[in-house]
Structure 1
Amino acid sequence: MARTEFYDDPAAPQPNSLVVAASAVVCDDSGHILLQRRADSGLWALPGGGMEMTDSLPGCAVREVKEETGLDIEITGLVGTYTDPRHVIAYSDGEVRRQFNVCFRARVVGGDLTISDESTELRFVAPAQLEVLDMHHTQRLRLTHYLEGRTSPYLG
C-alpha cells in the first residue's frame, strides 16, 4: 500500500482517522541511529507504527521495532510527542490519517537486524550523515530533538 505525507498543504485530503502511534530513536553503542527505508514511501524513517488495543505506548514502540527490524529494544526515555494537525498521511486504500506519535529513546538489547515487508533497507546512521538522507521533515524534527539532548521532552 502506498503512502503520501503532506505537511501544511492546502491541497491535502481531509483526515478520516486519528491514529495513536509510537516510534523510537534506537542507538547502537557508537551512537549511530537505526533508520529504515520505508517500502510504502521510499523515505527514511524511524521504526514505529500504530498502537494496538493490547499495547501500552512504550510496548507499541517495542513491538513495532521488533516487527520492522528484528531487534529487541529497551525504552530508556522520551524524545517527545508529535501531534501537529498540519501533518496528514494519505494511504492508497483511502485512509487519510492524522497521527498522534510518541517518540521514545531506546537501546538494543537483543535480536538480529532483519528487513521486514515494511522496509527495503535498514541502517545504523551516524548523526553527521542524517542530513543527506531523504526523509519527511516530521521524521527529521524528531531526530533533531533527540540530538539536541533535551532535558525534557518536546511537546507538540
Structure 2
Amino acid sequence: MRDPRVVGQGVPHRRVHFHDPEAPTASVVTPSVFVSVRNERGQLLLVRRCDSGTWELPGGRVDVGESAVAAALRETVEETGVRVRITGLVGLFTDPAHVIESAGDETRQQFVVCFHAWLISGEPRPDLHETSYAAWMDPIDIAALPMEPGAHRLIRHALSGASDPHLD
C-alpha cells in the first residue's frame, strides 16, 4: 500500500522549469488558479504536494465550463478541506519561462490567476491524492519550507501587502 506522505512512492512525477535554458518547449498554455488563504491569526494556508514534497498555495487547473473563481473555491476545498471566500486578486502570472512537464506527455506554460481569500470554515486536511499535508503557516516560517521558485513567487506577492495586483 502506498503511503501518501512519502514522496515519489508510486506518484506520477512532474518537472518544473523556472527560467531554465534546458526547459522543453511548452505545447499548451493551461489556465490555473492558486489561492492565498489567511486566517484570523494572519497565517497562510499551504499544502505539500504528494509528487514532489514541495509546499505551495492550494490550487490547480481551471476546468472547461468553470470560472476562475469557481475553480479557486473548488481546488481549495478539494486539497485542504477548507471553505473560503475570495476577497481579491494577488495577481496574474503568465511567465512563458515557467514550464511544467507532466508525468504524461504534456508540457505546459502556466497561466496563473492567484486570489486572496479568507477562511469561512473547516480545518486543514490533505486530500492524500495531490496533497500530503495541509496546514496554517506563520509567514515568518514559510521561507524555510522546500518550494518551487514559481510557488515562492506567488507566496511572496501574496504576502507583500501590495494594493495593486501583480501583472505579467
TM-score range, shorter chain: over 0.9
Aligned residues: 156
Deviation at 1:118, TM superposition (A): 0.5
Match of 2:154 in 1: 142
TM-score (norm. length: structure 1): 0.96
Matched, 1:78 2:89: yes
List runs of 5+ in structure 2 lacking aligned partners: 1-11
Aligned-pair Cα RMSD in Å: 1.0
Match of 1:153 in 2: 165
**Aligned mate of 2:136, from 124, 146, 152:** 124
- Which one has a larger percent strand, Structure 1 or Structure 2? 1
Q: Distance in 1 between matches of 2:52 and 2:94?
A: 21
Match of 1:63 in 2: 74
List runs of 5+ in structure 1 lacking aligned partners: none
Match of 2:3 in 1: none
Q: Distance in 1 between matches of 2:48 and 2:124?
A: 14
Deviation at 1:27, TM superposition (A): 0.9
Alpha-carbon displacement from aligned partner over 1:19-40 (angstroms, at most 9, x marks no partner): 1011100111101101111012
Q: Distance in 1 between matches of 2:97 and 2:152?
A: 16
Matched, 1:89 2:100: yes
Amino acid aligned to 2:46:
L
The percent identity for this pair of structures is: 37
TM-score (norm. length: structure 2): 0.89
Amino acid aligned to 2:160:
E
Other structure's SS at 1:94 match: coil
Off by >4 Å, runs of 4+ in structure 1: none
